Amino acid sequence: MKKSTKAVLLSALLFPGAGHLFLKKYFFGAVLTGTALIALYILIPGLIDRARQISEKILNGEIRLDLTVITELASQQPIGGEAQSLEMAMSVLVIAWLAGIIGSYLAGRSFESGAKTL
């Protein structure tokens, strides 16, 4: 398997920046990994809080234990400033992931051709 293919698969399936780290492009890999980690640091507490609120409603008997009801509650948009920060963090994570995939492909191709452009 070519290095560019391995790098793309690592970036797409493992974590943003993993392909760059595999190709020894440490600066770009660290930037992408750091960006994705910061986005996840913002996203995960919001998601855990949403899950906690839903589980409390189930335990208090406010909603019944039904998959469709739980799915509907989980898919509701957050309100206020939390919504904006979660949306921004999700956008940053997706952009970092796509940049990691595209960047690792380009870096892998230049690595295979012997050029040191990236």
**pLDDT tens, position by position, 14-31:** 999 999 999 999 999 999
* C-alpha–C-alpha distance, residues 10 and 57, integer Å: 39
Q: Which residue's entry shows tokens 């760059």? A: 20
Determine how many CB atoms are found less than 10 A away from the CB of residue 37.
15
pLDDT tens digits, 57-109 = 999 999 888 899 888 888 887 777 778 888 999 999 999 999 999 999 999 99
pTM of the shown model: 0.80
